[in-house]
Structure 1
Amino acid sequence: MPPASPNSRVPLGPLRPSPLVEQAAQRLRDRIADGSWPVGAKLPGETTLARDLGVGRSTVREALRALAGAGLVQARQGAGVFVIATEPDEDWPARLRRASVADVYEIRMMLEVRAAELAAERRTDADLTALDAALAARDEAFAGPAIEAFIDADIALHTAVVAAAHNPVLADLFAEFVPVLRDGLLDLAALVDVRTSDTAHGRAAHAALIDAIRTQNPPEAGQIIKTELDRTLSALLQGR
Protein backbone atom coordinates (compact mmCIF):
# COMPACT_ATOMS: atom_id res chain seq x y z
CA MET A 1 0.00 0.00 0.00
CA PRO A 2 1.56 3.34 -1.04
CA PRO A 3 2.19 5.96 1.65
CA ALA A 4 -0.41 8.63 2.11
CA SER A 5 0.05 11.88 0.23
CA PRO A 6 1.90 14.49 2.31
CA ASN A 7 -1.15 16.74 1.98
CA SER A 8 -3.78 14.11 2.83
CA ARG A 9 -5.76 14.67 6.00
CA VAL A 10 -5.55 11.38 7.91
CA PRO A 11 -6.80 11.90 11.49
CA LEU A 12 -3.99 11.53 13.99
CA GLY A 13 -6.30 10.56 16.87
CA PRO A 14 -6.79 12.09 20.28
CA LEU A 15 -4.06 11.97 22.90
CA ARG A 16 -4.17 10.38 26.33
CA PRO A 17 -3.72 12.56 29.43
CA SER A 18 0.07 12.73 29.96
CA PRO A 19 2.82 15.12 28.89
CA LEU A 20 1.17 16.44 25.75
CA VAL A 21 4.29 17.74 24.05
CA GLU A 22 5.98 14.33 24.33
CA GLN A 23 2.89 12.56 23.03
CA ALA A 24 2.48 14.97 20.16
CA ALA A 25 6.14 14.66 19.20
CA GLN A 26 5.94 10.86 19.30
CA ARG A 27 2.78 10.82 17.18
CA LEU A 28 4.44 13.03 14.58
CA ARG A 29 7.58 10.86 14.67
CA ASP A 30 5.42 7.80 14.00
CA ARG A 31 3.89 9.43 10.95
CA ILE A 32 7.33 10.31 9.61
CA ALA A 33 8.67 6.81 10.32
CA ASP A 34 5.77 5.03 8.58
CA GLY A 35 6.24 7.05 5.41
CA SER A 36 3.12 9.15 5.68
CA TRP A 37 5.38 12.19 5.50
CA PRO A 38 8.48 11.17 3.53
CA VAL A 39 11.70 13.14 3.36
CA GLY A 40 11.02 16.40 1.55
CA ALA A 41 7.34 16.49 2.50
CA LYS A 42 5.85 19.60 4.00
CA LEU A 43 3.99 19.00 7.24
CA PRO A 44 0.46 20.33 7.67
CA GLY A 45 0.24 23.69 9.36
CA GLU A 46 0.15 24.17 13.12
CA THR A 47 -3.61 24.79 13.12
CA THR A 48 -4.30 21.54 11.28
CA LEU A 49 -1.94 19.52 13.46
CA ALA A 50 -3.40 21.04 16.62
CA ARG A 51 -6.92 20.11 15.53
CA ASP A 52 -5.97 16.55 14.55
CA LEU A 53 -4.07 15.98 17.79
CA GLY A 54 -6.59 17.72 20.00
CA VAL A 55 -4.05 20.07 21.54
CA GLY A 56 -3.19 23.75 21.40
CA ARG A 57 -0.92 25.32 18.82
CA SER A 58 1.71 25.99 21.48
CA THR A 59 1.94 22.24 22.17
CA VAL A 60 2.34 21.55 18.46
CA ARG A 61 5.01 24.23 18.25
CA GLU A 62 6.99 22.63 21.08
CA ALA A 63 6.60 19.17 19.54
CA LEU A 64 7.92 20.44 16.22
CA ARG A 65 10.82 22.06 18.02
CA ALA A 66 11.64 18.68 19.60
CA LEU A 67 11.55 17.02 16.18
CA ALA A 68 13.82 19.71 14.77
CA GLY A 69 16.24 19.11 17.63
CA ALA A 70 16.28 15.41 16.75
CA GLY A 71 17.15 16.24 13.16
CA LEU A 72 13.83 15.05 11.70
CA VAL A 73 12.30 18.31 10.47
CA GLN A 74 13.42 21.77 9.50
CA ALA A 75 11.46 25.01 9.49
CA ARG A 76 11.97 27.15 6.40
CA GLN A 77 11.17 30.81 6.73
CA GLY A 78 7.92 31.60 4.99
CA ALA A 79 7.58 28.09 3.56
CA GLY A 80 6.65 25.82 6.47
CA VAL A 81 8.13 22.78 8.19
CA PHE A 82 9.66 20.03 6.07
CA VAL A 83 10.81 16.47 6.80
CA ILE A 84 14.57 16.12 6.38
CA ALA A 85 15.15 12.64 7.89
CA THR A 86 13.12 9.59 8.90
CA GLU A 87 15.27 8.58 11.87
CA PRO A 88 16.46 10.84 14.69
CA ASP A 89 20.08 11.78 15.12
CA GLU A 90 21.83 9.39 17.46
CA ASP A 91 23.89 10.97 20.19
CA TRP A 92 27.55 10.02 20.64
CA PRO A 93 27.15 7.97 23.86
CA ALA A 94 24.36 5.93 22.27
CA ARG A 95 26.49 5.23 19.21
CA LEU A 96 29.38 4.11 21.38
CA ARG A 97 27.12 1.77 23.37
CA ARG A 98 26.08 -0.13 20.27
CA ALA A 99 29.54 -0.16 18.66
CA SER A 100 31.56 -3.37 18.52
CA VAL A 101 34.40 -3.74 20.98
CA ALA A 102 36.84 -3.94 18.07
CA ASP A 103 35.66 -0.60 16.68
CA VAL A 104 35.88 1.05 20.09
CA TYR A 105 39.38 -0.27 20.72
CA GLU A 106 40.63 0.87 17.32
CA ILE A 107 39.60 4.42 18.18
CA ARG A 108 40.88 4.03 21.73
CA MET A 109 44.31 3.14 20.36
CA MET A 110 44.33 6.22 18.15
CA LEU A 111 43.51 8.41 21.12
CA GLU A 112 45.78 6.80 23.68
CA VAL A 113 48.82 6.37 21.48
CA ARG A 114 48.77 10.06 20.63
CA ALA A 115 47.94 10.94 24.25
CA ALA A 116 50.98 8.97 25.46
CA GLU A 117 53.22 10.74 22.95
CA LEU A 118 51.91 14.14 24.00
CA ALA A 119 52.21 13.22 27.67
CA ALA A 120 55.88 12.40 27.13
CA GLU A 121 56.37 15.84 25.60
CA ARG A 122 54.30 17.89 28.05
CA ARG A 123 54.24 16.08 31.40
CA THR A 124 54.81 18.09 34.54
CA ASP A 125 56.12 17.02 37.92
CA ALA A 126 52.51 16.97 39.13
CA ASP A 127 51.59 14.63 36.25
CA LEU A 128 54.40 12.24 37.20
CA THR A 129 53.23 12.21 40.81
CA ALA A 130 49.69 11.41 39.63
CA LEU A 131 50.93 8.64 37.34
CA ASP A 132 53.03 7.03 40.08
CA ALA A 133 50.07 7.15 42.45
CA ALA A 134 47.77 5.65 39.81
CA LEU A 135 50.22 2.78 39.19
CA ALA A 136 50.42 2.09 42.94
CA ALA A 137 46.62 2.12 43.19
CA ARG A 138 46.45 -0.32 40.27
CA ASP A 139 48.90 -2.65 42.04
CA GLU A 140 46.86 -2.49 45.23
CA ALA A 141 43.58 -3.13 43.43
CA PHE A 142 45.02 -6.18 41.66
CA ALA A 143 45.87 -7.68 45.04
CA GLY A 144 42.32 -7.14 46.28
CA PRO A 145 39.28 -9.39 45.86
CA ALA A 146 37.16 -7.25 43.51
CA ILE A 147 38.00 -7.40 39.80
CA GLU A 148 35.81 -4.33 39.22
CA ALA A 149 38.10 -2.30 41.47
CA PHE A 150 41.13 -3.41 39.46
CA ILE A 151 39.47 -2.48 36.17
CA ASP A 152 38.55 0.92 37.56
CA ALA A 153 42.13 1.44 38.78
CA ASP A 154 43.50 0.41 35.39
CA ILE A 155 41.23 2.88 33.61
CA ALA A 156 42.22 5.56 36.14
CA LEU A 157 45.87 5.06 35.20
CA HIS A 158 45.09 5.42 31.51
CA THR A 159 43.03 8.50 32.31
CA ALA A 160 46.04 9.99 34.10
CA VAL A 161 48.15 9.42 30.98
CA VAL A 162 45.55 11.22 28.86
CA ALA A 163 45.41 14.05 31.40
CA ALA A 164 49.19 14.45 31.15
CA ALA A 165 48.80 15.24 27.45
CA HIS A 166 47.23 18.55 28.49
CA ASN A 167 44.70 18.58 25.68
CA PRO A 168 41.20 19.16 27.07
CA VAL A 169 39.46 18.00 23.89
CA LEU A 170 41.41 14.73 23.95
CA ALA A 171 40.55 14.30 27.63
CA ASP A 172 36.85 14.87 26.94
CA LEU A 173 36.85 12.36 24.08
CA PHE A 174 38.53 9.73 26.25
CA ALA A 175 35.99 10.34 29.01
CA GLU A 176 33.21 9.48 26.54
CA PHE A 177 34.90 6.14 25.87
CA VAL A 178 35.38 5.16 29.52
CA PRO A 179 31.93 3.56 30.15
CA VAL A 180 32.22 1.41 27.02
CA LEU A 181 35.81 0.46 27.84
CA ARG A 182 34.78 -0.55 31.33
CA ASP A 183 31.97 -2.76 30.01
CA GLY A 184 34.35 -4.44 27.56
CA LEU A 185 36.91 -5.14 30.26
CA LEU A 186 34.23 -6.49 32.60
CA ASP A 187 33.13 -8.83 29.78
CA LEU A 188 36.73 -10.01 29.44
CA ALA A 189 37.02 -10.56 33.19
CA ALA A 190 33.85 -12.67 33.12
CA LEU A 191 35.44 -14.94 30.53
CA VAL A 192 39.08 -14.98 31.58
CA ASP A 193 40.62 -15.27 35.03
CA VAL A 194 42.81 -12.18 34.83
CA ARG A 195 44.92 -13.17 37.84
CA THR A 196 45.92 -16.55 36.40
CA SER A 197 46.12 -15.51 32.74
CA ASP A 198 48.43 -12.60 33.53
CA THR A 199 50.05 -12.96 36.93
CA ALA A 200 51.96 -9.70 36.43
CA HIS A 201 48.71 -7.91 35.38
CA GLY A 202 50.62 -5.96 32.74
CA ARG A 203 52.57 -4.08 35.39
CA ALA A 204 55.85 -4.08 33.50
CA ALA A 205 54.23 -2.46 30.46
CA HIS A 206 52.47 0.17 32.55
CA ALA A 207 55.62 0.93 34.53
CA ALA A 208 57.59 1.20 31.28
CA LEU A 209 54.97 3.57 29.91
CA ILE A 210 55.35 5.86 32.90
CA ASP A 211 59.14 5.70 32.59
CA ALA A 212 58.92 6.69 28.90
CA ILE A 213 56.73 9.63 29.87
CA ARG A 214 59.13 10.53 32.70
CA THR A 215 62.17 10.50 30.39
CA GLN A 216 60.20 12.33 27.68
CA ASN A 217 60.46 9.66 25.01
CA PRO A 218 57.30 10.05 22.85
CA PRO A 219 57.98 7.23 20.34
CA GLU A 220 58.60 4.70 23.11
CA ALA A 221 55.54 5.84 25.08
CA GLY A 222 53.33 5.50 22.02
CA GLN A 223 54.68 2.06 21.11
CA ILE A 224 54.26 0.72 24.64
CA ILE A 225 50.61 1.74 24.88
CA LYS A 226 49.88 0.43 21.37
CA THR A 227 51.37 -2.97 22.20
CA GLU A 228 49.46 -3.17 25.48
CA LEU A 229 46.13 -2.22 23.91
CA ASP A 230 46.70 -4.66 21.03
CA ARG A 231 47.16 -7.40 23.63
CA THR A 232 43.96 -6.47 25.45
CA LEU A 233 41.99 -6.25 22.22
CA SER A 234 43.18 -9.71 21.17
CA ALA A 235 42.01 -11.13 24.50
CA LEU A 236 38.62 -9.45 24.14
CA LEU A 237 38.13 -10.77 20.60
CA GLN A 238 39.16 -14.29 21.60
CA GLY A 239 36.65 -14.14 24.44
CA ARG A 240 33.89 -13.15 22.05
Structure 2
Amino acid sequence: MPLGALRPSPLVEQATQHLRDQITEGHWAVGTKLPGETTLAKTLGVGRSTVREALRALAGAGLVQARQGAGVFVIAAEPEEDWPTRLRRAAVTDVYEVRMLIEVEAAQVAAQRRTDDDLTVLHTAMDRRRQAANASDAEFVDADVALHAAVVAAAHNPVLTGLFAEFVPVLRKGLIDLVELLNLRAGDPNHGDAGHAALVDAIARGDAEAAGRSLREELTRTLAQLHAM
Protein backbone atom coordinates (compact mmCIF):
# COMPACT_ATOMS: atom_id res chain seq x y z
CA MET A 1 0.00 0.00 0.00
CA PRO A 2 1.70 3.25 -1.10
CA LEU A 3 1.95 6.18 1.23
CA GLY A 4 -0.26 9.19 0.54
CA ALA A 5 -1.37 12.48 2.03
CA LEU A 6 -3.80 12.14 4.93
CA ARG A 7 -7.17 13.69 5.58
CA PRO A 8 -7.23 16.21 8.43
CA SER A 9 -8.83 14.27 11.23
CA PRO A 10 -7.18 12.46 14.05
CA LEU A 11 -3.82 12.78 12.35
CA VAL A 12 -1.68 10.90 14.86
CA GLU A 13 -3.95 7.86 14.66
CA GLN A 14 -3.97 7.99 10.86
CA ALA A 15 -0.22 8.43 10.64
CA THR A 16 0.32 5.57 13.08
CA GLN A 17 -1.97 3.26 11.09
CA HIS A 18 -0.33 4.11 7.74
CA LEU A 19 3.15 3.49 9.10
CA ARG A 20 1.99 0.33 10.86
CA ASP A 21 0.54 -0.95 7.58
CA GLN A 22 3.85 -0.35 5.81
CA ILE A 23 5.56 -2.53 8.38
CA THR A 24 3.01 -5.33 8.78
CA GLU A 25 2.53 -5.63 5.01
CA GLY A 26 6.26 -6.04 4.47
CA HIS A 27 7.08 -2.76 2.72
CA TRP A 28 9.58 -2.06 5.49
CA ALA A 29 11.21 -5.31 6.57
CA VAL A 30 12.64 -6.02 9.99
CA GLY A 31 15.99 -4.29 10.25
CA THR A 32 15.02 -1.51 7.86
CA LYS A 33 15.78 2.06 8.83
CA LEU A 34 12.72 4.27 8.41
CA PRO A 35 12.89 7.55 6.48
CA GLY A 36 13.59 10.57 8.65
CA GLU A 37 10.85 12.54 10.38
CA THR A 38 11.03 15.33 7.80
CA THR A 39 10.63 12.92 4.89
CA LEU A 40 7.75 11.07 6.55
CA ALA A 41 6.01 14.30 7.47
CA LYS A 42 6.23 15.55 3.88
CA THR A 43 5.02 12.24 2.44
CA LEU A 44 2.07 11.98 4.82
CA GLY A 45 1.20 15.65 4.68
CA VAL A 46 1.48 16.21 8.42
CA GLY A 47 3.79 17.97 10.83
CA ARG A 48 6.91 16.46 12.33
CA SER A 49 5.31 16.42 15.76
CA THR A 50 2.55 14.16 14.40
CA VAL A 51 5.13 11.80 12.92
CA ARG A 52 7.03 11.82 16.20
CA GLU A 53 3.89 10.79 18.13
CA ALA A 54 3.12 8.08 15.57
CA LEU A 55 6.62 6.65 15.88
CA ARG A 56 6.29 6.70 19.65
CA ALA A 57 3.05 4.69 19.36
CA LEU A 58 4.74 2.18 17.05
CA ALA A 59 7.62 1.85 19.51
CA GLY A 60 5.10 1.17 22.27
CA ALA A 61 3.63 -1.61 20.12
CA GLY A 62 7.08 -3.16 19.77
CA LEU A 63 7.37 -2.49 16.03
CA VAL A 64 10.16 0.09 15.90
CA GLN A 65 13.06 1.24 18.01
CA ALA A 66 14.93 4.52 18.00
CA ARG A 67 18.72 4.15 18.11
CA GLN A 68 20.67 7.11 19.35
CA GLY A 69 22.37 8.87 16.47
CA ALA A 70 21.31 6.22 13.95
CA GLY A 71 17.57 6.67 13.39
CA VAL A 72 14.44 4.58 13.82
CA PHE A 73 14.54 0.92 12.80
CA VAL A 74 11.89 -1.76 12.31
CA ILE A 75 12.38 -4.48 14.95
CA ALA A 76 9.22 -6.60 14.45
CA ALA A 77 6.69 -7.30 11.71
CA GLU A 78 3.73 -7.76 14.04
CA PRO A 79 2.71 -5.64 17.05
CA GLU A 80 3.01 -7.09 20.52
CA GLU A 81 -0.28 -8.26 21.99
CA ASP A 82 -1.40 -6.47 25.11
CA TRP A 83 -2.13 -8.46 28.26
CA PRO A 84 -5.95 -8.63 27.90
CA THR A 85 -5.58 -9.87 24.31
CA ARG A 86 -3.12 -12.56 25.37
CA LEU A 87 -5.51 -13.75 28.04
CA ARG A 88 -8.41 -13.94 25.58
CA ARG A 89 -6.29 -16.07 23.24
CA ALA A 90 -4.82 -18.29 25.95
CA ALA A 91 -6.07 -21.77 26.78
CA VAL A 92 -8.28 -21.69 29.86
CA THR A 93 -6.12 -24.38 31.49
CA ASP A 94 -3.04 -22.16 31.17
CA VAL A 95 -4.94 -19.22 32.65
CA TYR A 96 -6.21 -21.46 35.44
CA GLU A 97 -2.71 -22.60 36.39
CA VAL A 98 -1.63 -18.99 36.80
CA ARG A 99 -4.82 -18.27 38.69
CA MET A 100 -3.90 -20.99 41.18
CA LEU A 101 -0.49 -19.43 41.81
CA ILE A 102 -2.04 -16.03 42.43
CA GLU A 103 -5.15 -17.01 44.35
CA VAL A 104 -3.66 -19.57 46.72
CA GLU A 105 -1.11 -16.97 47.81
CA ALA A 106 -3.87 -14.36 48.07
CA ALA A 107 -5.92 -16.66 50.31
CA GLN A 108 -2.98 -17.15 52.66
CA VAL A 109 -2.34 -13.42 52.84
CA ALA A 110 -6.07 -12.76 53.30
CA ALA A 111 -6.08 -15.00 56.38
CA GLN A 112 -3.44 -12.76 57.90
CA ARG A 113 -4.83 -9.37 56.84
CA ARG A 114 -8.61 -9.74 56.70
CA THR A 115 -10.65 -7.18 58.59
CA ASP A 116 -14.09 -7.47 60.11
CA ASP A 117 -15.48 -5.74 57.02
CA ASP A 118 -13.75 -8.32 54.82
CA LEU A 119 -15.34 -11.13 56.80
CA THR A 120 -18.76 -9.55 56.33
CA VAL A 121 -18.17 -9.40 52.58
CA LEU A 122 -16.92 -13.00 52.50
CA HIS A 123 -19.88 -14.37 54.43
CA THR A 124 -22.29 -12.40 52.25
CA ALA A 125 -20.59 -13.75 49.10
CA MET A 126 -20.80 -17.27 50.54
CA ASP A 127 -24.51 -16.85 51.21
CA ARG A 128 -25.08 -15.57 47.67
CA ARG A 129 -23.21 -18.52 46.23
CA ARG A 130 -25.52 -20.84 48.15
CA GLN A 131 -28.58 -18.92 47.02
CA ALA A 132 -27.39 -19.21 43.42
CA ALA A 133 -27.67 -23.00 43.71
CA ASN A 134 -31.24 -22.58 42.48
CA ALA A 135 -30.22 -20.29 39.61
CA SER A 136 -28.77 -20.88 36.15
CA ASP A 137 -25.25 -22.19 35.62
CA ALA A 138 -24.06 -18.73 34.55
CA GLU A 139 -25.50 -17.10 37.67
CA PHE A 140 -23.96 -19.79 39.87
CA VAL A 141 -20.55 -19.26 38.27
CA ASP A 142 -20.88 -15.50 38.71
CA ALA A 143 -21.60 -15.99 42.42
CA ASP A 144 -18.65 -18.36 42.70
CA VAL A 145 -16.29 -15.89 41.01
CA ALA A 146 -17.57 -13.10 43.26
CA LEU A 147 -16.65 -15.15 46.33
CA HIS A 148 -13.15 -15.76 45.01
CA ALA A 149 -12.81 -12.06 44.19
CA ALA A 150 -13.74 -11.28 47.80
CA VAL A 151 -10.98 -13.60 49.00
CA VAL A 152 -8.42 -11.85 46.81
CA ALA A 153 -9.66 -8.42 47.92
CA ALA A 154 -9.20 -9.44 51.57
CA ALA A 155 -5.46 -9.74 50.92
CA HIS A 156 -5.38 -5.95 50.54
CA ASN A 157 -2.85 -6.05 47.71
CA PRO A 158 -4.01 -3.95 44.74
CA VAL A 159 -1.67 -5.77 42.34
CA LEU A 160 -3.18 -9.15 43.23
CA THR A 161 -6.66 -7.68 42.95
CA GLY A 162 -5.88 -6.21 39.54
CA LEU A 163 -4.36 -9.44 38.24
CA PHE A 164 -7.36 -11.48 39.34
CA ALA A 165 -9.72 -9.01 37.68
CA GLU A 166 -7.85 -9.50 34.39
CA PHE A 167 -8.40 -13.26 34.62
CA VAL A 168 -12.12 -13.08 35.39
CA PRO A 169 -13.56 -12.93 31.81
CA VAL A 170 -11.58 -15.98 30.66
CA LEU A 171 -12.24 -17.86 33.90
CA ARG A 172 -15.95 -17.14 33.78
CA LYS A 173 -16.34 -18.56 30.29
CA GLY A 174 -14.21 -21.60 31.07
CA LEU A 175 -16.12 -22.36 34.27
CA ILE A 176 -19.52 -22.00 32.61
CA ASP A 177 -18.41 -24.39 29.86
CA LEU A 178 -17.09 -26.81 32.49
CA VAL A 179 -20.30 -26.80 34.54
CA GLU A 180 -22.49 -27.19 31.47
CA LEU A 181 -20.45 -29.79 29.56
CA LEU A 182 -19.85 -32.04 32.58
CA ASN A 183 -23.26 -31.31 34.09
CA LEU A 184 -21.51 -30.84 37.44
CA ARG A 185 -24.55 -29.52 39.26
CA ALA A 186 -26.91 -32.32 38.27
CA GLY A 187 -26.51 -34.19 41.55
CA ASP A 188 -25.36 -31.23 43.62
CA PRO A 189 -26.71 -27.80 42.60
CA ASN A 190 -24.37 -26.19 45.14
CA HIS A 191 -21.28 -27.88 43.75
CA GLY A 192 -18.15 -27.28 45.85
CA ASP A 193 -19.93 -25.79 48.84
CA ALA A 194 -17.92 -27.69 51.46
CA GLY A 195 -14.57 -26.61 50.04
CA HIS A 196 -15.60 -22.98 49.82
CA ALA A 197 -17.01 -23.03 53.33
CA ALA A 198 -13.71 -24.43 54.60
CA LEU A 199 -11.85 -21.65 52.80
CA VAL A 200 -13.95 -18.89 54.31
CA ASP A 201 -13.72 -20.48 57.76
CA ALA A 202 -9.92 -20.72 57.54
CA ILE A 203 -9.65 -17.05 56.58
CA ALA A 204 -11.99 -16.09 59.41
CA ARG A 205 -9.81 -18.05 61.89
CA GLY A 206 -6.67 -16.42 60.51
CA ASP A 207 -5.26 -19.83 59.55
CA ALA A 208 -3.16 -19.05 56.47
CA GLU A 209 -1.96 -22.63 55.97
CA ALA A 210 -5.50 -24.05 56.04
CA ALA A 211 -6.79 -21.30 53.74
CA GLY A 212 -4.11 -22.01 51.15
CA ARG A 213 -4.61 -25.77 51.45
CA SER A 214 -8.41 -25.57 51.06
CA LEU A 215 -8.19 -23.38 48.00
CA ARG A 216 -5.37 -25.36 46.40
CA GLU A 217 -7.37 -28.58 46.74
CA GLU A 218 -10.48 -26.95 45.28
CA LEU A 219 -8.67 -25.39 42.33
CA THR A 220 -6.63 -28.54 41.64
CA ARG A 221 -9.82 -30.56 41.27
CA THR A 222 -11.28 -27.99 38.90
CA LEU A 223 -8.09 -27.82 36.83
CA ALA A 224 -8.10 -31.60 36.46
CA GLN A 225 -11.66 -31.41 35.15
CA LEU A 226 -10.70 -28.67 32.70
CA HIS A 227 -7.81 -30.78 31.39
CA ALA A 228 -10.24 -33.65 30.88
CA MET A 229 -12.67 -31.60 28.78
TM-score between both structures, scaled by the size of structure 2 = 0.88
1:28-177 correspondence runs (5 A):
28-144=19-135, 146-177=136-167
Contact preservation (8 Å) 1:11, 1:52? no
Q: Which whole-Å deviations, capped at 9, do the CAs of 1:9-65 have from their partners, x for residues lacking one?
A: x95345578644333322322322244333332101123223433444444333222
Q: Which whole-Å deviations, capped at 9, do the CAs of 1:70-113 have from their partners, x for residues lacking one?
A: 12122344432222322222211111111111110100110111
For structure 1, the 5+ residue unaligned runs are 1-9
Q: Which whole-Å deviations, capped at 9, do the CAs of 1:106-163 have from their partners, x for residues lacking one?
A: 001101111111112222222212111110011111222x322211111110011111
RMSD: 2.3
Task: Confirm whether residue 209 of structure 1 aligns to residue 178 of structure 2.
Answer: no
Change (3 A) 1:216 1:58: closer
Cα distance in 1 for partners of 2:179, 2:14 equals 42
| Equivalent residue in structure 2 for 1:186, among 161, 176, 180 | 176
Cα distance in 2 for partners of 1:11, 1:91 equals 28
Identity %: 66
Task: Confirm whether residue 225 of structure 1 aligns to residue 228 of structure 2.
Answer: no
Cα distance in 2 for partners of 1:200, 1:186 equals 14
Name the SS for the 2:65 alignment partner: strand
Cα distance in 2 for partners of 1:58, 1:212 equals 58
Moved more, 118-127 or 168-177: 118-127
Contact preservation (8 Å) 2:133, 2:190? no
Structure 2 counterpart of 1:101, which letter? V
Name the SS for the 1:194 alignment partner: coil
Task: Confirm whether residue 21 of structure 1 aligns to residue 22 of structure 2.
Answer: no
Cα distance in 1 for partners of 2:23, 2:75 equals 10
Change (3 A) 1:11 1:171: closer
CA displacement at 1:199 relative to structure 2: 3.8
Moved more, 22-31 or 222-231: 22-31
Change (3 A) 1:54 1:193: same
Structure 2 counterpart of 1:27, which letter? H
Task: Confirm whether residue 12 of structure 1 aligns to residue 7 of structure 2.
Answer: no
Task: Confirm whether residue 198 of structure 1 aligns to residue 170 of structure 2.
Answer: no
Change (3 A) 1:42 1:220: same
Moved more, 163-172 or 71-80: 71-80
- Aligned residue pairs total 229
Contact preservation (8 Å) 2:130, 2:190? no
